[in-house]
Amino acid sequence: MRSVDAPQGDLARCIDVLTDFLTRDDSPDRGVLLGADRAAHAAFEIADRHPERVAAVVALLPGEEAAAGGSPEPPCPALLLSLDEDPDRIESAVVDHLREMGRPAAVPSTYPVRLPPLTAMLLHDAEAMRQRAELGPVHRLEAADATTTWIVTGHQAAGEVLASPHLRGDVEITPGFRAQCPELAAEHRGGTDTISVDAREHRRLRELIGRHLTTEHVSRLRERVQRRVDGLLDGLPASEETDFVRRVAVPLPVLALCELFGVPDADRDYLHDWLVRRLSVPPPGAHEDVDAYLRRLIEAGRKRPGDDFIGWAIAAEGDRLAEDDLVSAARLLLVSGCRPTTTLLANGVAALLLHPGQWQRLVDDPAAAEDAAEELLRFVTPYPLGLPRRARCPVDEGGVRIPEGQLVAASLMAANRDPSVYPDPDVLDIGRAGKAHAAFGHEHHRCLGEPLARMLTSTTLETLARRYPAMALSRDGRGLQYRKNRVRYLLELMVVLEPRS
């Protein structure tokens, strides 16, 4: 027997307390919930949301309510008793009910699949998300003391959530889905800049970036990025084991971003240090000098405009360009363009080498690198979850009523593995054609760095396939170690570019 101190006067809070109890390590995988009055209604709600965790419900309700049935029929055995009954009779009825449950059924019964509670760690697990998507489109993320968050699965449902006008990004959320304390909700919000700012400012920054970070503009950087790719690969030992993550996947996005913003060679170590090391430190300490540096870049760009994002914006906007907006836009692109691209390069190359037939297809036709990059974006999904946003009013998603103020996020991984959209979704196929993936999000929350990420990834894949057709993992792929937070990324990827025959 376990007892939970649930507040009787607040049904929503009572449900939250019971849900948090089920997430504890010492909580049983499956049990009978017994509750009185409000706690009984909470038990029915928990049984409806998590049938895999609840074997039965015993509800003690006021007399008239018990006689009326008290609640919609739950997906498990239920015993309703009146609070007016004699305590001894209540105890006897409960014991008899549990004994009856323990007897073998006369005919085989079908029960809902038993799944562990959905935690932040499982958001990276394609199989775990597929199982939940099969059970329904909306699932509650279980994390004690965390902000209540609902995860939406499925390609269509994810698109609806990402486009919904009823959801807004107005809160700082940590990787554990907890609202940040005021001391850390600093002026510089790092990767969430255009998520937590005022909606009008959010739209203004997106429009500024969208006007000047176009596929056409980014294509003008391809030769410069190609030189950076070749330069990194030239410095690697061809026939010895090397860490692709440390030597290529981490520095290459920084170099590409330096080209995008016209960062002088002398300052590239500074930018690398900020993006790779210092961003892991909570603000404001990690960012206090960055705006000043970006303003110096803008000042230099005004005096001598370059063929880069700052130069494009200055040339096109003229006196209409607000320096503060350009600083915010640049900071956003630098932050959001680094870690996800590193993840895509590392996890994507690992996926290809773990599927030798797909790697060979790319080697046979390096020009197919753009198609390969699209399939890797779907298969790897660098950001497995869209940024959570808050419901500005009660929202109905997939038959679930989400109260105002709670968080909703789309599982981009589940969307990208939706079998109704992608045949054999768990199969890596670099020749896959058809429905576009959801890795970059959707509509007004679509990734603005999309053109640069696509160009950098396809350039790198084509170069690797052309220069090192025999490239292979130097260790057993089953030993790959991933770090899992908001981004699931490889800690290292040991490869040999030109294995000795």
8 Å CB contact between 190 and 337: no
Residues 6+ apart with CB under 8 A from 333: 209, 213, 257, 260, 261, 309, 448, 449
C-alpha–C-alpha distance, residues 139 and 397, integer Å: 10
Most confident of 224-233, 264-273, 388-397: 224-233
pLDDT in tens, 473-497: 987 666 677 775 556 778 899 999 9
8 Å CB contact between 143 and 119: yes
pLDDT of residue 2: 77
Asked if the model's pLDDT at residue 372 lies above 80, the reply is yes
> Which tokens belong to 440?
């970059």
What is the distance of C-alpha 172 from the center of its chain? 15
pLDDT of residue 235: 95
Confidence of residue 175 (pLDDT cuts 50, 70, 90): very low
pLDDT of residue 65: 67
* Model-wide pTM > 0.85: no
C-alpha–C-alpha distance, residues 340 and 182, integer Å: 27
C-alpha–C-alpha distance, residues 385 and 323, integer Å: 32
Phi, psi of 352 (to 5 degrees): -65, -45
> Which tokens belong to 477?
């792929």
pLDDT of residue 285: 52
C-alpha–C-alpha distance, residues 199 and 206, integer Å: 11
What is the distance of C-alpha 11 from the center of its chain? 30
Segment 135-163 mean pLDDT: 78
Segment 203-222 mean pLDDT: 86
Confidence of residue 139 (pLDDT cuts 50, 70, 90): confident
8 Å CB contact between 32 and 98: yes
Reported in sequence order, the residue ranges of 325-365 that DSSP labels E, i.e. its strands, are: none
Residues 6+ apart with CB under 8 A from 80: 59, 61, 66, 69, 70
pLDDT in tens, 5-54: 777 667 777 877 777 777 676 777 778 888 887 787 787 777 766 666 77
DSSP string for residues in 163-206 = H-TTEE--S-B-TTS-BPPTTTS-S--GGGHHHHS-HHHHHHHH
Most confident of 22-26, 289-293, 364-368, 392-396: 364-368
Asked if the model's pLDDT at residue 101 lies above 70, the reply is no
8 Å CB contact between 141 and 149: yes
264-269: long-range contacts at Cβ-Cβ below 8 A with a sequence spacing of 24 or more?
Answer: 267/293
* Region label for 145, one of left (φ > 0), alpha (ψ between -120 and 50) or beta (otherwise): left
Asked if the model's pLDDT at residue 144 lies above 60, the reply is no
**What is residue 123's three-state secondary structure?**
helix
Pairing outcome for strands 167-168 and 149-152? unpaired
**Block residue for tokens 């760690």:** 121
- Other CB atoms within 10 Å distance of the CB of residue 162: 24
- Axis-axis angle for helices 309-317, 199-212 (nearest 10): 100
8 Å CB contact between 482 and 490: yes
pLDDT of residue 399: 74
Continuous segment of H or E residues that includes residue 299? helix 290-303
C-alpha distances (whole Å) from 338 to each of 55, 226, 421, 439, 484 are 47, 17, 29, 15, 17
pLDDT in tens, 429-476: 999 977 788 888 766 667 778 899 999 999 999 999 999 999 999 876
pLDDT of residue 135: 82
